[in-house]
């Protein structure tokens, strides 16, 4: 529950605008340099092993894409339910969301350059000699994959541009803000439908089809749960860093951190419910083509990583965020946000890299699945994250840090938890 005080509230201009000389305004260039160096370094350290590069690139890409898609989800849902508390933090999600056009550009190399290294179903000869792949080739073929991916990219770019343009276009103009708020709320329901459909099938195409013999109808929701966790952690961490830089003080308050912490806690439980349900149903049915997917994720070197995922995605954040004080203080929230983002990286690695390790194990004499984490993995993550941060910080410095034209911004700033 919340309430707004009746007294007028004036937003301090120096708290919601980043001046030209700030380090935040230099981050786009720094991010692009880091991105170019990281991706170039990842290719160089792969020593011509295109499989190693593209698997590392896909892990990094899906981590950053999760944050961008999480931002789009956050914005759509806040308009759909007409939330008041979140208006003060919504612009951070909008800035994360508007990186989606950049992420779509970064996804093009996967389609046009890396598909044959990543996806076994692109090998026409292998498909013809595999009964299951041959049965799926109406969906899993390069032409359909290209059309679907372009469709996802168009949907994500269109939705992010629409909501970002409406929100930022009304900054400082309450009358325009009122019209924009009504328009965004009207379109939020169909936008949520398009978002859910596109994210689900993108998760099928980019991640689940790495192992085309395996399937799970819950996989799209699994990736969505990680996206939601990622954006709440990212918003929390960004605002804490902005506070330390002298911005948003008195605008985003302890009350907002409390709610962000509650969402981190709630989606930790939601993620665990989805992940366990997917595992439990497959374990109970005990169908070989389903269980083998988990089988080589608990084999050899990957067993400790699986235990880390189980403990790090649920037990550690659950008990850490359970006390009220953890959700209302910057230090524990910072630790929680960093940990959750780290675990998203672990999660994407756990989804992607065992496929490559299993392939290498089949070709080796000892048939052992080895976990290799090397420079190519770190540099690919650094590179894609650098480009993502460049896009995010460009948007951050371009407009106000809060939607100043939203007619309910005062209500949000003066929000209090009960």
H helices of 207-218, where? Answer: none
Own/partner pairs, 236-241, CB within 8 angstroms, 24+ separation = 236/260, 236/261, 236/264, 236/333, 236/334, 236/336, 236/337, 237/334, 237/337, 237/338, 237/341, 238/92, 239/89, 239/92, 240/330, 240/333, 240/334, 240/337
Query: Measured between alpha carbons, how far is 295 from 288 in angstroms, rounded to an integer?
Result: 10
pLDDT recorded at residue 8: 52
pLDDT recorded at residue 386: 98
The model's pLDDT over 91-126, given as tens digits with 9 standing for 90+, comes to 999 999 999 999 999 999 999 999 999 999 999 999
Query: Measured between alpha carbons, how far is 173 from 405 in angstroms, rounded to an integer?
Result: 5
The model's pLDDT over 363-393, given as tens digits with 9 standing for 90+, comes to 777 778 888 899 999 999 999 999 999 999 9
pLDDT recorded at residue 300: 86
Q: Has residue 3 got a pLDDT over 60?
A: no
pLDDT recorded at residue 5: 46
Q: Which pair of tokens denotes residue 157? A: 């770019």
| Residues 6 or more apart in contact with residue 213 via CB below 8 angstroms | 132, 133, 289, 292
Chain-wide mean pLDDT for the chain?
A: 94
How many Cα neighbours within 13 Å face the side chain of 353? Answer: 26
Query: Within 10 A of 381 (CB to CB), how many other CB atoms are there?
Result: 22
Query: Measured between alpha carbons, how far is 216 from 204 in angstroms, rounded to an integer?
Result: 9
The model's pLDDT over 274-315, given as tens digits with 9 standing for 90+, comes to 999 999 999 999 988 889 999 989 988 899 999 999 999 999
| Residues 6 or more apart in contact with residue 149 via CB below 8 angstroms | 107, 111, 202, 205
pLDDT band at 13 (very low <50, low <70, confident <90, very high): confident
pLDDT recorded at residue 367: 75
DSSP 236-255: HHHHHHHHHTT-STTTS-HH
Range of weakest confidence among 3-12, 119-128, 405-414: 3-12
pLDDT recorded at residue 4: 45
Own/partner pairs, 143-147, CB within 8 angstroms, 24+ separation = 145/111, 145/115, 145/119, 145/205, 146/111
% the chain with pLDDT above 90: 86
pLDDT recorded at residue 9: 60
The model's pLDDT over 64-85, given as tens digits with 9 standing for 90+, comes to 999 999 999 999 999 999 999 9
Q: Has residue 2 got a pLDDT over 80?
A: no
The model's pLDDT over 213-240, given as tens digits with 9 standing for 90+, comes to 999 999 999 999 999 999 999 999 999 9
Q: Has residue 319 got a pLDDT over 50?
A: yes
% the chain with pLDDT above 70: 98
| Nearest alpha carbon to residue 140 among 212, 200, 199, 220 | 212
Q: Has residue 6 got a pLDDT over 60?
A: no
The model's pLDDT over 130-172, given as tens digits with 9 standing for 90+, comes to 999 999 999 999 999 999 999 999 999 999 999 999 999 999 8
Query: Measured between alpha carbons, how far is 156 from 384 in angstroms, rounded to an integer?
Result: 18
């Amino acid at each position: 529950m919340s309430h707004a005080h009746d007294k007028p509230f004036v937003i301090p201009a120096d708290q919601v605008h980043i001046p030209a000389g700030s380090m935040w305004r230099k981050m786009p260039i720094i991010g692009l340099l880091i991105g170019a160096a990281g991706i170039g370094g990842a290719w160089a350290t792969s020593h011509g092993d295109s499989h190693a590069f593209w698997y590392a690139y896909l892990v990094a890409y899906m981590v950053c894409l999760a944050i961008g898609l999480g931002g789009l989800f956050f914005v759509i849902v806040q308009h759909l339910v007409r939330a008041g508390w979140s208006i003060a933090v919504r612009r951070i999600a909008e800035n994360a969301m508007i990186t989606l056009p950049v992420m779509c550009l970064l996804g093009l190399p996967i389609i046009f350059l890396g598909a044959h290294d990543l996806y076994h179903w692109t090998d026409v000869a292998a498909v013809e000699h595999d009964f299951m792949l041959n049965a799926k080739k109406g969906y899993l073929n390069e032409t359909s994959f290209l059309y679907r991916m372009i469709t996802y990219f168009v949907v994500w770019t269109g939705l992010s541009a629409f909501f970002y343009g409406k929100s930022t276009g009304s900054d400082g103009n309450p009358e325009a803000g009122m019209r924009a708020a009504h328009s965004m709320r009207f379109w939020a329901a169909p936008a949520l439908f398009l978002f859910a459909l596109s994210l689900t099938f993108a998760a099928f195409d980019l991640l689940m089809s790495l192992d085309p013999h395996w399937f799970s109808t819950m996989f799209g929701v699994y990736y969505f749960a990680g996206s939601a966790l990622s954006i709440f952690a990212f918003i929390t961490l960004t605002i804490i860093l902005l506070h330390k830089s002298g911005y948003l003080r008195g605008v985003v308050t302890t009350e907002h951190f409390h709610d962000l912490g509650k969402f981190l806690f709630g989606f930790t439980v939601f993620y665990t419910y989805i992940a366990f349900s997917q595992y439990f149903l497959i374990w109970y049915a005990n169908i070989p083509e389903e269980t083998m997917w988990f089988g080589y994720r608990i084999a050899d070197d990957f067993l400790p990583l699986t235990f880390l995922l189980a403990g790090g995605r649920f037990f550690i954040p659950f008990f850490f965020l359970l006390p009220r004080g953890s959700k209302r203080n910057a230090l524990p929230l910072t630790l929680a946000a960093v940990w959750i983002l780290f675990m998203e990286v672990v999660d994407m690695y756990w989804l992607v890299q065992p496929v490559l390790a299993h392939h290498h194990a089949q070709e080796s004499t000892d048939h052992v699945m080895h976990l290799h984490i090397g420079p190519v993995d770190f540099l690919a993550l650094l590179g894609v994250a650098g480009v993502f941060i460049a896009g995010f910080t460009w948007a951050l410095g371009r407009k106000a840090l809060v939607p100043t034209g939203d007619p309910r911004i005062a209500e949000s700033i003066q929000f209090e938890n009960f």
